[in-house]
Amino acid sequence: MSTFSVVDIPNMAGKTVIVTGASSGIGLATAHALACVGARVVFAVRNIEKGSAAAAATAGVTEVRELNLASLDSVRAFAANWDGRIDLLINNAGVGGPELSRTADGFEMQFGTNHLGHFALTNLLLEHITGRVVTVASQAERAGRIDFDDLNWERKPYQSFGAYGQSKLANLLFTAELQRRLSAAGSGVLATAAHPGYVATNIYSHAGHPPSGLSAIMIRLLAQDANMGALPTLYAAVADIPGNSFAGPRHFAHMRGAPMLIGRSASAQDADLARRLWTISEQLTGIHYPLQPILERA
């Protein structure tokens, strides 16, 4: 059985990669692996000081730029200041948390950051991208539901895992609809997604609530480290796979091990749902897909 590891990443000298949330966890491991094979890696981070320390500890060519995905103003500023080709955009940053909080624009924090922030960033940068857009999703999408009547949890009682599942389902629907649109425009850019598996990262300690009890024991005994958790992202970024692929670990219900292509829920494969979410996301962010279909350009 063939497996994928960092030694399978091709030489990326001359390539430019943006990794959101590259200060720690699988984002940092992803940035480190790509910088080690020659890529210029841009750490797109909310905390410049933390990002600079992470970049300084990474061998290779790195750059740090401020990006707060919980603020559309910050996303617009990042994109407006970008000049040049992007070979890989890796939408890695993500948040979780037990309590309801909101972005600078009033969106529920997990949906607003994990989905809408990356939706806006990708569309604003798309005309610069020549290779792939990789979005880090999760098998938590299987428990997700896109509630178009209350996307931002303004009326129903807040459920953290439900909000997280909605945001991760949105990541996969975004990937599917992005690939459909890229294909319709005759673009060679691919949109793929990755599920890191069960990884011991600081997302479990978000908002000052570290895991305890059974959860802490499970993380200590079963979770992979960040380097292993980054492998599905790296596989989705460089492996010979089709657009709209979803990569995840091979073993333990796709929670551990080397990466492979994995399945997704029926909801995540619903093309009508993906198109509806895209339309709503454009309305909420005010940011639209920049490429025209081939037939409209003819």
Q: What is the pLDDT of residue 211?
A: 47
Dist. CA 40–CA 16, nearest whole Å: 5
Say if pTM beats, i.e. exceeds, 0.85: yes
Q: What is the pLDDT of residue 144?
A: 96
C-alpha separations of 238 from 89, 98, 215, 245, 286 in Å:
12, 34, 33, 12, 31
**In this structure, is residue 250 part of a structural domain?**
yes
Q: What is the pLDDT of residue 173?
A: 98
Q: What is the pLDDT of residue 122?
A: 98
**In this structure, is residue 128 part of a structural domain?**
yes
**In this structure, is residue 295 part of a structural domain?**
no
Q: What is the pLDDT of residue 202?
A: 55
**In this structure, is residue 16 part of a structural domain?**
yes
H runs (alpha helix) in the chain: 25-36, 48-56, 72-80, 109-110, 118-125, 160-184, 213-222, 226-229, 231-238, 271-285, 294-297
- Residues annotated catalytic, as ranges: 164
- For the chain, helix (H) and strand (E) counts, in that order, are 11, 8
Residue type, 159: Q
With a pLDDT cut of 70, the percent of the chain lying above it is 89
User: Strand, coil or helix: what is 46?
Assistant: coil
CATH number for the domain harbouring residue 276: 3.40.50.720
Give the domain range for residue 71: 7-288
Q: What is the pLDDT of residue 219?
A: 53
Which residue ranges of the chain lie beneath pLDDT 50?
1, 203-212, 214, 217, 298
Q: Count the alpha carbons within 13 Å of 207 in the hemisphere toward its beta carbon.
A: 12
Q: What is the pLDDT of residue 297?
A: 57
Q: What is the pLDDT of residue 294?
A: 83
User: Strand, coil or helix: what is 199?
Assistant: strand
Q: What is the pLDDT of residue 225?
A: 86
The total of structural domains in the chain comes to 1
Contact 181, 123 (CB under 8 A): no
For the residues of 137-179, what is the DSSP string, one character each? --GGGGG----TTSTT-SSSPP-HHHHHHHHHHHHHHHHHHHH
Contacts of 136 (CB under 8 A, 6+ apart): 26, 90, 91, 92, 94, 171, 193, 194, 195, 196, 233
**In this structure, is residue 209 part of a structural domain?**
yes
Contact 206, 96 (CB under 8 A): yes
**In this structure, is residue 298 part of a structural domain?**
no
Q: What is the pLDDT of residue 279?
A: 98
Q: What is the pLDDT of residue 254?
A: 66
Contact 86, 251 (CB under 8 A): no
Q: What's the alpha-carbon Rg for the chain, to the nearest Å?
A: 18
Contact 236, 193 (CB under 8 A): yes
